[in-house]
Structure 1
Amino acid sequence: MLTERQLLILSVTVDDFIQSAQPVGSSQLSKKSELPYSSATIRNEMAELEGMGFLEKTHTSSGRVPSEKGYRFYVDNMLTPRALPLEDIEQLRSIFDTRLSETEEVIRRSAMILSELTNYTAVLLGPDIGKHTIRRLSIVPLTADSALALIVTETGHVEKRIFDIPQGLDPSNIERMINILNDRLSGVALSDLQFRLEEEVLAVFRQHIDRYTELFASLQKAVVVSNDNNVFYGGKLNILNQPDFHDLHKIRDLMGVFEGSKLLPAILSAGGPGIQIRIGSENSLAAMEDCSIVTVSYDVGNEQSGSIAIVGPKRMDYKRIVTILDTLSGDLSKQLTRMIHGK
């Protein structure tokens, strides 16, 4: 059990190190108005905190820095969200100033603004595309033997695919195909699209579309929907500007996670409701052991959700980040839900 004095010294030590990125010594703490103690008293208490595992001694200085245990205690027991300056609030709201028609555009812009506001790396996991339901389908002939399939979902998501059409096919067949697809597939989830094509649409094509075998095979291949592209980044390289990252091997591994790891969406989806903070080794990927990840979920309507994450050093400005994410998650949920319902 920490004493009141130890709690105060630990809190000020963490705050100071977050701001300065320099080891904290007792002499500099004794000059702070919130610590009315002598340098010797503070030094003794810092030694006690080190012995309990909340602080660590650095190799290059007599100062101390927070340990992972210290950060965890600080986050769990001392973290009070900091009010955002008006200019930050206005920058967050600017995400929604432009009328964007697709949910992906809003999410992509959110990632960019977040990275600018925090100087860290922002990662947004979009809703599961497979759960999107089809609003309408369009077929646009491009050449004599190709066409563009457009699938628009209730969320405003648009899938675009070019597929082959049999040469010499009468244009009336294309029109009939569009009517059949919209009649049979409107309201169907993208994850069920392939099944419904095979079970319902193929039989109708057989009755009403000339050369249906070639056309159906091409269309079916074109509309396979992947969920791999629903991760959006802002400021991938921002984290490299932090003085905490200087090991080139670790930097390369971290960039590898950002570039292609299939594990990242699962990491961002993990955790319970509200703000979740994972510090250092609490992250399941070794490449992120020097990072903290702060995540929060957002809703898209009643049944879909996504995640927002800030990836930064363990020496992250948690008070500011928590407020930013809490604000954005609420605003993003309202905006995307309005887009779904057309309001």
Structure 2
Amino acid sequence: MLTKRQLLILQSIIDDFIETAHPIGSRAISKKAKINLSAATIRNVMADLEDMELLEKTHSSSGRIPSEKGYRYYVDHVIAPTIRDKEIAIIKNIIQDNMIELEHVVQLSAEVLSQLTNYTAIILGPNEVDATLKQIQIINLTPQTAVAILVTSTGHVEHKSFSIPKGFNVSDFEKVVNILNDRLVGVPIVKLPYTLQTEVYELLKQHITEHELMYEYIQSIVRYDDTAKLYVGGQSNILMQPEFKDVEKIYEFYTMLEDEDEIIKLLAEQHDGLKVTIGNENKNEAIKNFSLITTTYKLGVNQLGTIALFGPTRMEYRKVITLLKSLSNEMTDLFYVTFNK
């Protein structure tokens, strides 16, 4: 463990470097009101911190910058989440004002999170393979067209327009909707095809004249893509960070962002709770120069989504951790209650 003096100097250097992105010298630290130490004493402490591999000396300056090990110590032992009333109020308003569809809430949350931090935010929705069908409606738009609205237990809402089969008795739609809601609501998405082929098909034969034709239409309507969904905010924010003016450093990151499967694989590995990975702690080569902070939100007992922020290792950890925890709590409170009624 560090001494009180070492801890004070380390925190001061990291806080200043996060704000300025410039190496910090002993004279700059000695001018701070809370640092009652001479420049010579500060230099000795900085040298000790460098020996511990918590600080690094740049070639272009006599000042020091935090190492990845220094950031890790800072995250694990120094910072604590702080109350950020203004930003948290913004998050609460987004959640409360947009309670209709999960997708809308999550996309807005990703965008606002990126704006509040100036980093790239990605929110991973839960995989629909874990979901059940919560509701299905079929609404006639015209005598020839209708729209099917399907809602899952994860809050995913899907609208599918289709043409009404020629000669089909429109009044049978009510029977069809009743059959579908009676037999499909509460059924896991992955089991829908089997339930359609067995229970639903038999009931259609009994109650619907054009049952074969309607069965074909229902098969096309009740079809889900079972992959998780990504919501991205602030994709270009990384370019605003001075560390990433070098195109080569950022090229691999943007290439990764274009590969949804790669992002899903990266974020799906996160477990319940908050996790901070710094620089080379990241296994993916594309983000070796980044810090990645993730947390999860819940939609059910076994249904987790992931919130992630990508930024430089010179990230505002205290602010980001506070905002992620707040957003996670708000989304969990809304979705867990709404989709588990």
8 Å CA contact retained: 1:125, 1:231 = yes
Q: TM-score scaled to structure 1, two decimals?
A: 0.89
Q: TM-score scaled to structure 2, two decimals?
A: 0.89
Identify the range of structure 1 (138-147 vs 187-196) with the bigger mean alpha-carbon deviation. Answer: 138-147
Aligned to 1:281: 280
What letter corresponds to residue 300 of structure 1 in structure 2? L
Question: How many matched pairs?
Answer: 341
8 Å CA contact retained: 1:102, 1:155 = no
Aligned to 1:58: 58
Aligned to 1:112: 111
1:248 & 1:201 partners in 2: Cα distance?
56
CA shift, 1:99, in A, is 4.8
CA shift, 1:157, in A, is 2.8
SS in 2 for 1:171: coil
SS in 1 for 2:150: strand
CA shift, 1:225, in A, is 1.1
8 Å CA contact retained: 1:277, 1:294 = yes
1:27 & 1:195 partners in 2: Cα distance?
73
1:270 & 1:19 partners in 2: Cα distance?
31
What letter corresponds to residue 284 of structure 2 in structure 1? L
2:59 & 2:221 partners in 1: Cα distance?
58
Point out where structure 1 has 5 or more consecutive residues left out of the alignment: none
What letter corresponds to residue 54 of structure 1 in structure 2? L
2:55 & 2:199 partners in 1: Cα distance?
65
What letter corresponds to residue 239 of structure 2 in structure 1? L
CA shift, 1:284, in A, is 2.5
8 Å CA contact retained: 1:164, 1:218 = no
8 Å CA contact retained: 2:128, 2:227 = no
Aligned to 1:88: 87
Q: Deviation per CA, 1:58-115, whole angstroms, max 9, x where unpaired? A: 232222211111111111111222231x322322222134253112222222222212
2:272 & 2:130 partners in 1: Cα distance?
20
Q: Deviation per CA, 1:311-339, whole angstroms, max 9, x where unpaired? A: 21110111111111122221221122332
SS in 2 for 1:36: coil
Aligned to 1:257: 256
Aligned to 1:331: 330
8 Å CA contact retained: 1:280, 1:292 = yes
Q: CA RMSD in A?
A: 2.5
Q: 1:98/1:43 Cα in 2 relative to 1: closer, same or farther (>3 Å)?
A: same
Query: Aligned pair 1:46/2:68, yes or no?
Result: no
8 Å CA contact retained: 2:127, 2:228 = no
Q: How does 1:161-310 map to 2 (within 5 A)?
A: 161-163=160-162, 166-228=165-227, 230-310=229-309
Aligned to 1:129: 128
SS in 2 for 1:244: helix
Q: Deviation per CA, 1:47-67, whole angstroms, max 9, x where unpaired? A: 332233222222322222111
What letter corresponds to residue 237 of structure 1 in structure 2? S
Taking only the aligned residue pairs, the percentage that are identical comes to 42
CA shift, 1:250, in A, is 3.1
8 Å CA contact retained: 1:165, 1:215 = no
Identify the range of structure 1 (193-202 vs 14-23) with the bigger mean alpha-carbon deviation. Answer: 193-202
